[in-house]
Amino acid sequence: MDHLGGSLATAGLSVAIVEREAVFRDRVRGEGIHPWGMAEAARLGLIPQLLAAGANELPVWQEYDHGVPGASYRWSDDSIDGWSEYGVSHPALQQTLIEWADSCGATVFRPATAVRYASGPTLVIQTVVDERTLNARLVVGADGRRSRVGRWIGAALIQDPVHHRFGGALFDHVDLDSSVVHDARFAGGRVFILPQGNSRARVYLMLSDERLTETGAAHTFAEFVDWTAPLRPNHGQSQLSFLKEKETSAFSNSIGGR
Ligand SMILES: Cc1cc2nc3c(=O)[nH]c(=O)nc-3n(C[C@H](O)[C@H](O)[C@H](O)COP(=O)(O)OP(=O)(O)OC[C@H]3O[C@@H](n4cnc5c(N)ncnc54)[C@H](O)[C@@H]3O)c2cc1C
């Protein structure tokens, strides 16, 4: 959202950004940017902001089948302008972009919550000191999956039947090549590891609905780590076995996702 605000403000439009969180927290959201997303970001002139947020280049995609390394793929062989995958901390990117939008001339209300909407369009926001009314020619709702703006404008929410669930955790002290995405497949599931640099990595667990019905979701760190056991080969150490060996203290954030 803030990238749109910054871009419109740069083009000379009057822009207000309303953000509820005083400090962005890790909600396990959106950290892998595929090469075509990077190409779009380049077109919008946003690469400096991505790099300022610590975006980490991930040129190689490495697959594993039940813990055994398989084919690896180099994005730049096929991608638009040779772009790679990148991994970036979502809260770090949110913070960088909102500061950038502010520096481009957008007015940032933060912390402030959009509380009401009326045609016009008019948006009523609650700041820490008062309630204000903003009149705008256009309101853009980028307020997440439980979007109030979507409800206010009567947007229909259409949900597919559940096929799989996705969750993740943030790990520190990860001793893996930080230029590689690790994509490990096993029966009914998949684990992705997206290094963010500085020995930190996002680990995502994807489970099919059938597998979840059989086993229940991983709600704790221990359960989450247990799910990675199939990644270990029958003999020897897998490159991913660090997941099983890490102490709970290495788990630096909450398990999230859906
Ligand atoms: C587990 C998981 C993993 C994902 N992984 C990826 C990935 O690897 N790559 C990728 O591209 N996408 C990924 N996504 C999808 C991606 O995170 C979302 O598409 C993206 O974050 C949506 O952007 P958004 O701005 O609409 O919402 P959000 O990123 O959720 O941001 C909404 C913002 O609006 C603020 N807000 C909400 N309500 C109000 C209000 N009433 N007033 C003021 N502020 C408000 C919130 O504080 C928040 O800062 C993932 C999603 C999940 C759930």
| CATH code for position 168 | 3.30.70
Is 219 part of a structural domain of the chain? yes
Is 130 part of a structural domain of the chain? no
Ligand 1 near 19 CB (within 6 A) = yes
* Mean pLDDT on 222-240: 55
What confidence score (pLDDT) does residue 214 get? 80
User: Residue 250 pLDDT more than 80?
Assistant: no
Ligand 1 near 102 CB (within 6 A) = no
- Which residue's CA lies nearest to atom 25 of ligand 1? 142
What confidence score (pLDDT) does residue 51 get? 97
* Mean pLDDT on 158-166: 86
DSSP state of 149: H
What confidence score (pLDDT) does residue 102 get? 96
Is 225 part of a structural domain of the chain? yes
DSSP state of 129: S
User: Residue 143 pLDDT more than 60?
Assistant: yes
Least confident of 50-59, 156-165, 199-208, 236-245: 236-245
Which residue would you say has higher pLDDT here, 102 or 190?
A: 102
Dist CA 129 CA 133 (whole Å): 13
Arithmetic mean of pLDDT over the chain: 84
What confidence score (pLDDT) does residue 229 get? 56
Which residue would you say has higher pLDDT here, 208 or 1?
A: 208
Is 48 part of a structural domain of the chain? no
Structure tokens at 163: 């096929």
Residue 94 CA: nearest ligand 1 atom is 49
Residue 147 CA: nearest ligand 1 atom is 38
* Mean pLDDT on 105-127: 95
In total, how many domains does the chain have? 1
Q: Are 203 and 87 in contact (CB under 8 A)?
A: no
Confidence of residue 34 (pLDDT cuts 50, 70, 90): very high
Is the bond preceding 48 in cis, omega lying within 30 degrees of 0?
A: no
User: Residue 237 pLDDT more than 50?
Assistant: no
Is 222 part of a structural domain of the chain? yes
Ligand 1 near 1 CB (within 6 A) = yes
User: Residue 177 pLDDT more than 70?
Assistant: yes
User: Residue 175 pLDDT more than 70?
Assistant: yes
β-strand 122-127 against 16-18: which pairing, if any?
A: unpaired
Q: Are 123 and 113 in contact (CB under 8 A)?
A: no
Is 221 part of a structural domain of the chain? yes
Q: Which domain holds residue 223?
A: 164-257
Is 189 part of a structural domain of the chain? yes
What confidence score (pLDDT) does residue 217 get? 65
Q: Are 202 and 194 in contact (CB under 8 A)?
A: yes
